[in-house]
Amino acid sequence: MEIADLEEKKAVHQRDYDMMISEYEIRLEDLERSRLQADNHIEKLSLDLAASQSEINVLLIEAQKYEGQVHFLMSEREMLL
């Protein structure tokens, strides 16, 4: 009788163990899926950031160009006065 009880307990523990391993694997797959989604989101944000930085650089160059033109026109005005 003792052996039968031990075998029954072993079977119960084995089922519990198998269920826990199954849940672990499911959660591991979910984590991997979330990591891949995060990687894709980070890549998209990086591309958006690079595009924004390029636009900012173009705007800064244009601002410098117009500042140069303003200084030139101011000196021209001073010369005319």
> pLDDT tens digits for 43-78?
999 999 999 999 999 999 999 999 888 888 888 888
60-69: pLDDT as tens digits: 999 999 988 8
Structure letter (DSSP) for residue 1: -
Of 46 and 1, which is predicted with more confidence?
46
C-alpha dihedral, 53 to 58 to 60 to 62, nearest 10°? -170
In this structure, what token pair is assigned to residue 63?
A: 């601002």
